[in-house]
Amino acid sequence: MKPVTLDQIKHNLKDAGWYPGRSQDQEAKKEWQDRASLLEKEGFEVIENPKIEAFLKSYIGIEMELWNDDERSAIFSTKWNGGYIKQIIDLSKNRGQLLFPIGMKYSSLKVTGIPYDSMPICMDAQSHFFAVWLEECFFLGSNEWEAFQNLMNQGFISEKKKEIANSFILKIQKESLVKSQRIVTPTQDQLKHSLQKAGWFIGRNKNQEARQQWEQTILDAKKQGFQIESFSSVEKFLRSYVGIKMDLWSSDKWSSYVSLGGIFGNDIEEMIVQSELLQLTLFPIGIEVTCLDHSPYEITTLCMDSQSRFYGIHWSGFYFIGSNEWEAFQNLRVQNWIEI
């Protein structure tokens, strides 16, 4: 999947009559009151939320095209007439907080022009966006732009699926920990010594080089048709380690090293695939290189998720490497990788 860009989203919104700074105060206030009244009639207390009200002020009355192919099309509309209210209330009660309806997504067959599928789009108190379909809630994004992008790409994340994926990752972490307890692993002091030989030191902060690294990675991904974003844990890691090349192990003609930073080529696409399968946000931060007679033999791209866990993309599979940087360095040193 090649995500639409922010510019494409804004183009569709402008075609629908939206513009930066748009504020339909009166219409938004009326819609808020009408929708709150419907929800309260069902027994759910509605508390004013400035973020939801701000969204309504900016977008009320907008109908944006999401996608359009030979047979089908879809739109997002901020209109809501009380449809699916039972499902919205039930899911709100299950979550312990209100899902406030801010619009609808409609899919239509071009032959008939009649919607064959519709789902309410909601926001919670933290400004997270969700789609409601049947008895399930689908996460769309942490802000309006993520939500619009996922609506346009049909990238709905089932909360149940996300919960299963998180449980799976926790299971893999436990397997890695159990396996590492059976192996003689280097201590953190030994790893620090190896890193210091490679030029690292406590408090190292290569802010400019790190920024260049993650901006170049984002640009390389964009050239391949993918949109990725850095996040705080990645940026912190790169500030400390970008440009470091540390030897890992050697045996007869074989050896290995880790290089932090670099260019990641076609592994960006595989990273996107794994991100979707495991409901993770991933970003590449380096490579592990296995050498034969001191010449590169095979390469593994190293990635981090938003919880600072480390993974490896190799031709043979996708691997969990560690729950933090020190565990990752340990497992890279002793080749303790768990295939996912």
Question: Distances in Å between the alpha carbon of 173 and those of 125, 301, 308, 332, 340?
Answer: 32, 19, 13, 15, 10
The DSSP secondary-structure symbol of 47 reads: -
pTM, to two decimals: 0.53
Q: Which residues of 230-260 are buried (b: 16+ CB within 10 A; e: fewer)?
A: bbebbbebbbbbbbbebebeeeeeebbbbbb
Question: Distances in Å between the alpha carbon of 170 and those of 71, 181, 232?
Answer: 42, 17, 22
* Domain range summary for the chain, segments of one domain joined by +: 6-155, 164-339
End-to-end CA distance of the chain: give it in Å, rounded. Answer: 21
Q: Which residues of 194-217 are buried (b: 16+ CB within 10 A; e: fewer)?
A: bbeebebeeeeebeeebeebbeeb
Rg over alpha carbons for the chain, rounded to the nearest Å, is: 24
The DSSP secondary-structure symbol of 170 reads: H
Euclidean distance between CA atoms 338 and 305, whole angstroms: 16
Write out the two tokens for 336.
């303790």
Q: Which residues of 262-278 are buried (b: 16+ CB within 10 A; e: fewer)?
A: bebeebbbbbbebbeeb
Q: In the prediction, which pLDDT does 241 show? A: 96
Q: In the prediction, which pLDDT does 46 show? A: 85
Give per-residue pLDDT as tens, 3-33: 577 888 999 999 999 999 999 999 999 999 9
Give per-residue pLDDT as tens, 184-224: 567 889 999 999 999 999 999 999 999 999 999 998 888 87
Write out the two tokens for 158.
């089932």
Positive or negative torsion for Cα 239, 244, 249, 255: positive
Positive or negative torsion for Cα 230, 218, 55, 109: negative
Q: In the prediction, which pLDDT does 172 show? A: 62
Give per-residue pLDDT as tens, 241-274: 999 999 998 888 889 999 998 877 667 888 888 8
User: Strand 129-133 relative to strand 310-314: parallel, antiparallel, unpaired?
Assistant: unpaired
Predicted confidence (pLDDT) at residue 158 exceeds the cutoff of 70 = no
Give per-residue pLDDT as tens, 34-73: 999 998 888 888 888 899 999 999 999 999 999 887 778 8
Give per-residue pLDDT as tens, 73-113: 889 999 998 888 988 998 888 888 889 999 999 888 777 66
